[in-house]
Amino acid sequence: MSWFLLGASPDLRTQIEANPDLHPQQGTRSTPICGVLLTCCELDHVTGLLHLREFQLFNVYATPSVISVLRDQNSMFRMLNRVPKQVCWQSLRPGQEFRLKLPVGQECGIQCQPVALSDQLVRVQGSAQRAREMGHIPVGGEDGSLCQLRGIRAGRKLYIHINNTNPMLNEAGPEYRAMRDAGWELAEDGWQVTL
């Protein structure tokens, strides 16, 4: 079975160790992880890539700006390209559908369509900030992600990477009900989604 990750969190090694399906299948350095889709280049979303650097081929799907930050502007991530085609950087554009591929180039049958959301990341200082002040798109409100994504027609819609202080984690609260009423679910630690 082939696996594709949505983001590569800093605790990716722990996640791999806790999930036997992600363990090496042959030898000590092979993994069934074939690719990673990156939605941004925040450290919480990309540092796990460094755990996949052991000369095994895999694809990284991201926008040109994210690829530029990781390949050209950050020397630490250059270790992902120590050998030719160690990582195949696949550029994606919002609104343009693409198919996930195995490292050898064969399509795996999963088609994706990236959706652009507004509110670009801004630099802020301090703590105890609201989502927008930290450069994140809020879930609620007229321009929140719940409203921006309302036109998506899918059998199952999941919110992932939810901060532990987000009010929609309170199942008795109005934020949770609004999310559920709009047809969304909250992903939980350890969930696996089969496509």
Mind listing the pLDDT tens digit for each residue in 124-174? 344 555 555 555 677 888 888 888 888 888 888 888 877 767 788 889 999
Q: Is residue 98 part of a domain?
A: yes
Q: What is the CATH number of the domain that holds 14?
A: 3.60.15.10
What 3 state SS string does the chain have?
CCEEEECCCCCHHHHHHHCHHHCCCCCCCCCCEEEEECCCCCHHHHHHHHHHCCCCCEEEEECHHHHHHHHCCCHHHHHHHCCCCCEEEEECCCCCCEEEECCCCCEEEEEECCCCCCCCCCCCCCCCCCCHHHCCCCCCCCCCHHHHCCCCCCCCEEECCCCCCCHHHCCCCHHHHHHHHCCEEECCCCCCCCC
CB contact at 8 A, 132 and 140: no
- Look at residues 7, 4, 51, 34 and name the one whose alpha carbon lies nearest to residue 160: 7
Please identify, among 84, 112, 140, the residue that sits at the C-terminal boundary of a domain: 112
Query: Within this chain, do residues 52 and 108 fall inside the same structural domain, yes or no?
Result: yes
Final residue before a domain boundary, out of 47, 81, 112: 112
Task: Determine the Cα–Cα distance for residues 5 and 185; give it in Å rounded to an integer.
Answer: 19
- Contact yes or no for 186/168 (Cβ under 8 A): yes
Range of the domain at 158: 132-186
Residues 108 and 32 grouped into a single domain: yes
Residues 53 and 145 both lie in one domain = no
Q: Within a domain: residue 195?
A: no
pLDDT tops 80 at residue 7 = yes
Q: Is residue 118 part of a domain?
A: no
With 80 as the cut, is the pLDDT of residue 3 above it? yes
- Residues 79 and 20 reside in one and the same domain: yes
State the Cα–Cα distance between residues 61 and 67, nearest whole angstrom: 8
The tens digit of pLDDT for each residue in 75-127 reads 888 888 877 778 899 999 988 999 999 888 888 889 898 887 657 434 334 45
pLDDT in tens, 38-82: 988 888 889 999 888 666 788 999 999 999 989 888 888 888 887
Q: Which residues are CB-contacts of 187 (< 8 A; sequence separation ≥ 6)?
A: 158, 159, 160, 162
The one-letter code for the residue type at 151 is G
| The pLDDT value given to residue 85 | 75
> In the predicted model, what is the mean pLDDT of residues 22-51?
84
Residue 117 lies in a domain: no
Q: What is the pLDDT of residue 135?
A: 56
Q: What pLDDT score was predicted for residue 38?
A: 93
Q: What is the number of structural domains in the chain?
A: 2
Residue 96 placed within a domain: yes
pLDDT in tens, 167-193: 888 899 998 999 999 999 988 877 777
